[in-house]
Chains A and B, each alone.
Chain A
Amino acid sequence: MLSVTGVSKLFPGVKALSDVDFTARAGEVHALVGENGAGKSTLIKVLTGVYQPDTGEVVHNGSPVRFTTPLQAQQAGISTIYQEVNLVPLMSVARNLLLGREPRGRLGLIDFRRMHREADEALRGLGIRVDVSRPLRELGVGAQQMVALARAVAIDARVVIMDEPTSSLEPREVRTLFDVIGMLRERGIAVVYVSHRMDELYEICDAVTVLRDGRVVHTGRLADLDRLRLVSLMLGREIGEVRSEGLTKFTGSHQAAAEPVLRAEGLTIRHQLHDVSLAIRPGEVVGLGGLLGSGRSETARAIAGALPTDSGRVSVGGAAVRTGSTPAAIRAGISLLPEDRKAEGISPGLSVRENIALAALPGLSRFGLVDNARVDKVVDMFVKRLRIKSAGPHQKVGELSGGNQQKVLLARWLAMHPKVLLLDEPTRGIDVGAKAEVQSLIDELAEEGLAVLLISSDTEELIEGSDRIIVLKDGVVVDELTGDAVTEDALMRAIAAEPSAPSEPADLPASPDLPASPDLSKNVKSAGSAHD
């Protein structure tokens, strides 16, 4: 259906793809996997006309094609769903869904009534009911992703490419997505599916192609490949090595001091948070559990002053911090690593050095002039310590892989010498290897006495990384898991509990059926599910 042969693509200093062959067949769901920087995104962009290959050719329906714009690829029946929702937030759902394909009536004018009906039908087909005349931005991220999906499917597509489509979906939405993928397969459409999540791959994919460092290292039926073998192919490490290391890098619990350094009390934001309180001791990692939209990010942002609160107090080391002001929070020693590192974190056009030093500059200046020698020293220290892989401190951050971008951000905040570190999805969208490194870094930081708040949609990471987990639901703290109760099972129960009956500690006898040693359970689980 759609294939590439011998494709290479060079970027300044990097060979992103080298002699890659890839074939998506009709009626087949083809997994495209690899660590970040392996070349998946580049390959997708070659397939969809965003990039042109330096060598090799793209063959579509048996004849060589050369797409120079995404529009040409779409017209040829190749549609794409991107990891980040790529729609226009200010426009209505229907207008987004049908942009470029609006039903037109007399005089070529858009027939809005028909447009709304068609949009509504398309979304209902995917099990979503929304008012399609409202602006897209009013939808949750998951629902927005479903609109993108509806858009991709509605175009008479022969090939649908999905780049980590589930990274912002709720489990129920993931089910809908999988149903749609099944439907596409039956209709003889070729699906290319990119994901970091093993469970998903094994559930819906027929074939797999593994990329590493811009080369194809394996291609074939997915069922013939077990999970551990797949992980080792992606990482380029031997199986024994992978197994012995486990897949999360968290060690056990940390020595926490007695007095909390961060206290947040009664944080309330209308429609978002209601009376959320938490305290973190130095050296402690507190997880925030809950589903998408439960108020996890909002809590972190409220503490960091990035979201104005209606009421509530925050204090660090006993001293009150003015809420709703990021400078005040930073001065008090609170640093937030935001969820959306592209939009709220890095400045891609600036160098590694500049990105790290950005926030800390006032402290590295004398008489308003930047002390370059000190900046170099600080940057050098963090690059080494966080093992940031770059061509040098002057490389643009935009050119680094996701994992290294995240480390640069982490370095920026650590350079501020924070007392409290709020991490919102610190490992989202970064590859397995970098993920492990970030995880062990979080551990190290806590051991050094930092108070850490960890938000993660990756249950495993949350459970293993946190000493305690505060569970949020609809902006309310519904439970707190401590000690042996920090288990996946207990977390599910807490999230699933009926809102009217807050679960009491006695209701959680989950631990007895689980192995007593948390370390053992971790290794068993990691090796078994090889998840993320």
Chain B
Amino acid sequence: MTTGTTEADMRPAPVHQEPDKIDAPTRAERFSALAQQHGALVTLLVAMVAASLSFDTFLTGDNLENMALSSAFLAVVALGMTFVIVTGGIDLSVGSLFALGGVLAAWGSQYGTAVALLLPLAVCGLIGVVNGLLIARSGLAPFIVTLAAMLGARGILLAITDEGSKTYLVDKDSFFATLGQGSLLGIGVPIWITVALFVLGAVVLRLTRFGQYVYAVGGNEDAAALMGAPVARTKITVYALSGLCAGLAGALNAAWLVSGVTILGSGMELEAISAVVIGGTLLSGGFGFVSGSLVGVLLLKVIQNVINQIGSLDSAYQQVVSGAFLAVVVVAQTWLGRRRRVL
């Protein structure tokens, strides 16, 4: 109230005032918060139970292993994407970087595992840094910058593969190939790597100062800047991370396929974004977690798998179902967010 002292002086009796306290969240708000955080997980479990009841083949070791493996590469891409989306950005270049990383890894594998891993990481990481620099320093829209990177990376890919006609192969007996093909305790190496990366990602996002900056930049960029958060550095870092993740996922994929396939990865950026959003991360930034993105990836893959099992259904319907599912999730998120008064 504006009248500082006059009001206080003129007040006939001291006004009883409650100490500041936060209103306890209502039951609806608590439910909404839970649904937003764990809704994808619950849906995943329901989908898996339903699928295993419907199809004998669903809950077999082979099928699960296949699903997990095919999820692993997308999951690594989605991990980087989670960081980008929490800052309120978007990275459309990851599909191209995934393919580029695969081809670079396959080409590099002839010089040893170190080159096969470091080359894609260096190139894709660098492209990520350029993305970040353009977005953070020049204030360009992430959508446009990463769209340009997506086209540019595709171009590089075509250039180094003679317009896609040349396919580099990975020696099946090399150590690099075991990164994709090998298994440990009966579980594929890519799955182990993915799990390890997600644990690392969760720790970085939740428990480091950099992670706090990621949330702060996405939650309110101006405030973050005024609070002294290194906004530009944070943005550059998340795009670099996203590029690194995409490049690494591509390399692992090449090791798995024992060749660098140029046509991979188109549309993967949208799959990754879908998975992140389905996992409960707000597209507007400031709220999200990496475990959700993992659940989101698995959910997409289970849906695909189920549609594949229904032999009569054209696999093209996969995308229809995934798209519809995404729409439902986004609507539900918006609704839950409003109930929680977040949006």
Contacts and interface: CB of A to CB of B under 8 A. Distances in A.
A526 B7 CA distance: 15
Nearest to B232: A69
Nearest to A131: B22
Contact of B23 (A91, A271, A532): A271
Nearest to A427: B2
Contacts of A458: 2-3
B212 A110 contact: yes
Interface in A479-509: 488-489, 492-493, 495-496
Interface string B10-48: 111101010111110110000000000000000000000
A197 B26 CA distance: 38
Q: Is the interface of B mostly helix, strand, loop or mixed?
A: loop
Nearest to A72: B228
Nearest to A177: B4
Interface residues of B, number: 44
B219 A88 contact: yes
A100 B20 contact: no
Interface stretch (B58-66, B179-187, B203-211): B203-211
Contacts of B4: 166, 171, 174, 197, 199-200, 203
Contacts of B159: none
Contact of B227 (A100, A166, A203): A100
Contacts of A112: 207
Contacts of A70: 225-228
A488 B10 contact: yes
A153 interface: no
A143 B215 contact: no
A337 to B, nearest CB: 18
B1 A459 contact: yes
B280 to A, nearest CB: 13
Nearest to B224: A88
B20 A492 contact: no
Contact of B20 (A75, A89, A128, A174): A128
Contact of B216 (A69, A88, A166, A171): A88
Interface stretch (A134-142, A232-240, A327-335): A134-142
A529 interface: yes
Given A87-B223, A110-B207, A496 B6 contact: no
B155 interface: no
Contacts of A531: 2-3, 6
B20 A130 contact: yes
Interface residues of A, number: 64
Interface in A74-131: 74-75, 80, 82, 86-91, 95-96, 99-100, 102, 104, 108-110, 112, 127-131
A323 interface: no
A13 B286 CA distance: 37
A489 to B, nearest CB: 6
Contacts of A90: 215, 219, 286-287, 342
Which of B20, B207, B219, B226 is packed against the most chain A CB atoms within 10 Å? B20
Nearest to A88: B219
A362 B202 CA distance: 50
A357 B122 CA distance: 52
Nearest to B16: A498
Given A87-B223, A129-B21, A292-B1, A489 B212 contact: no
A130 B21 CA distance: 5
Contact of B228 (A71, A87, A95, A142): A71
Contacts of B25: 138
A86 B287 contact: no
A199 B209 contact: no
A266 B15 CA distance: 27
A399 interface: no
Nearest to A166: B4
A93 B232 CA distance: 24
A488 B203 CA distance: 56
Contact of A86 (B7, B21, B226): B226
B323 interface: no
B22 A459 contact: no
B288 to A, nearest CB: 10
Contact of A102 (B19, B212, B220): B212
18 contacts: A71-B229, A71-B230, A91-B216, A99-B228, A109-B208, A127-B19, A134-B22, A146-B20, A166-B4, A170-B17, A174-B4, A203-B5, A459-B7, A460-B2, A460-B3, A489-B10, A496-B11, A496-B13
Instruction: Report the 5 A-B pairs with minimum CB-CB distance, sorted nearest first.
Output: A88-B219, A86-B223, A71-B228, A199-B4, A109-B207
